[in-house]
Amino acid sequence: MTTIQKALIVACFLLAAPLLHAQADESTITNQIKSLRGLSVTQRPVLTSKIATEIQALPPGIPKLHLADALAHLVTEGDQGADTLQAVADTLTQSLTETPVPAKAKDDKPPMPYTDLANLVRYEHVTTNLSDPLYLKASDLLAANDADVEKADFTLKDLHGKKVTLSDLRGKIVMINFWATWCPPCRAEMPVLDAIYTRFQSQGLVVLSITDEDPFKANSFVAPNNYHPPVLIDADNNVHKLFHIEGIPRTFVINRDGKLVAEAIDQRTQRQFLKMLEGTGLHP
């Protein structure tokens, strides 16, 4: 090997060294994911996209898949933008392609990462090229769940003991929001729900806030915050099961004809809620 060749090799190594040093490890990425909720609405999408890129650079394996899935759980909170959502979906797609997760039993639900990716595609309108049968099964289950919601009816009592029946509200636009006092994203979106309810109530919008918590606990939270939409108590969780609620907040929009027209799988901003209500006949 000539002196020039040795010099070139050393130079290439020196140029690559900073890149190698800068590559984040699993611990660093985990800490970054934990910090996301503490960031501003402008900072959060930037770091989320950065984390997605860092996860993609990790070697294939279960730890990488767990990080990709954890990021997918957080990217749906608020309005982080289509590009950020797609970056996270691409990361989860890559991780599942590299490390498929087997089903535990033939009749079991698909493992969570497949369902999380299917949620992103169906409700956040991202794309994926994953064709794994378990992903396709997860997509089919979401479609079946929405068909169940379309047929759902229930009667629950509000905090004052008044009964509210969903089918009695036909002719109105109904926004059904599942929440709990212990849920930070739920609490964050409630002032927005309150403002939208107050703004459009005269046009026939009804917001039903459903929780499975104790009425006293729920009232202790909403009363000081002057929250106007009716809060309904689902003590036995039957309505949660009817709507296939596995995580909150979760919001459904049903039009005047009783058709399910929009669904949110996590915290929404005012812009996102108004987008969900487009086409229902409400006027600003």
CB atoms within 10 A of CB 41: 10
Which has more confidence, 20 or 50? 50
- Is the predicted pLDDT of residue 175 greater than 70, yes or no? yes
CATH no., domain 154-276: 3.40.30.10
pLDDT at position 104, please?
82
pTM above 0.75, yes or no: yes
- Identity (one letter) of the amino acid at 211? T
pLDDT at position 12, please?
43
Q: Where residue 276 falls among pLDDT bands split at 50, 70, 90?
A: very high
pLDDT digit string, tens, across residues 7-33: 434 444 444 444 444 578 999 999 999
Which has more confidence, 222 or 22? 222
In the numeric block, the tokens 């690559």 are attached to 16
pLDDT digit string, tens, across residues 102-137: 988 766 789 999 999 999 999 999 999 999 999 999
